[in-house]
A and B are shown apart, each in its own frame.
Chain A
Amino acid sequence: GENVEQHPSTLSVQEGDSAVIKCTYSDSASNYFPWYKQELGKRPQLIIDIRSNVGEKKDQRIAVTLNKTAKHFSLHITETQPEDSAVYFCAAGGGGADGLTFGKGTHLIIQP
């Protein structure tokens, strides 16, 4: 089945700096790659997604890139703000499994 690896597990950046979270997947048939933000005790919230026919997608301060050949995708957050502090999960779907396969999460800490 699909396996998604996510790095780093914890990321601390200064407010205003950029943050990058990286994920790799194993199933070349996966074609949908969403990113979720989860605040403590809350639901995972879909913040951006990308499909395999696109290399990059941007939405204001967040962007996602996908390299199908290398089977990795990344989340980029620019001009980080305190409200960006949360756990971020990458996921892969559309391959052999019919549910999303999630990475273990990255705890993003924004230092004031």
Chain B
Amino acid sequence: DSGVTQTPKHLITATGQRVTLRCSPRSGDLSVYWYQQSLDQGLQFLIQYYNGEERAKGNILERFSAQQFPDLHSELNLSSLELGDSALYFCASSPHTGASYEQYFGPGTRLTVT
């Protein structure tokens, strides 16, 4: 158990819908990273927040957005969902900002878009 929690575990929704994925980092960690894992694209970095502020963006679509709240939990919002958005979404937490430090992954949310 990494200490990072994610909800829900599974999510099934229809094309065009909007969903919110939630992540709570390990106690004391200020950074939250979001990753998407799919069979064709592998593990891809989406976005990072540090202590409530957006710090870095990766391959995140404009239909996706995220935020980090004062209690440091983070939410990833996915809208206008397409079949190709079906994937495992992981968050990872780290005590520091910048990708030169250990990142600990949560259990993931499996999103299925039908």
Interface residues of A (CB under 8 A from B): 31-32, 34, 36, 42-46, 49, 51, 89, 91, 93-95, 97-105
- Our count of residue pairs bridging A and B at CB distance below 8 angstroms stands at 67
Contacting residue for B104 out of A42, A46, A93, CB 8 A: A46
Contacting residue for A43 out of B33, B55, B100, B107, CB 8 A: B107
Known: A32-B99, A43-B2, A94-B98. A99 touches B104 (CB 8 A): no
Pair B33/A99 contact, Cβ less than 8 Å: yes
Q: Which residues of A contact B102 (CB under 8 A)?
A: 34, 46, 49
Chain B, 23-67, CB within 8 A of any chain A CB:
33, 35, 42-48, 55-56, 58
Give Cα A91 to B42, complex, Å: 12
Give Cα A43 to B56, complex, Å: 22
Q: Which residues of A contact B43 (CB under 8 A)?
A: 44, 89, 91, 102, 105
Known: A43-B90, A98-B48, A99-B56. A104 touches B104 (CB 8 A): no
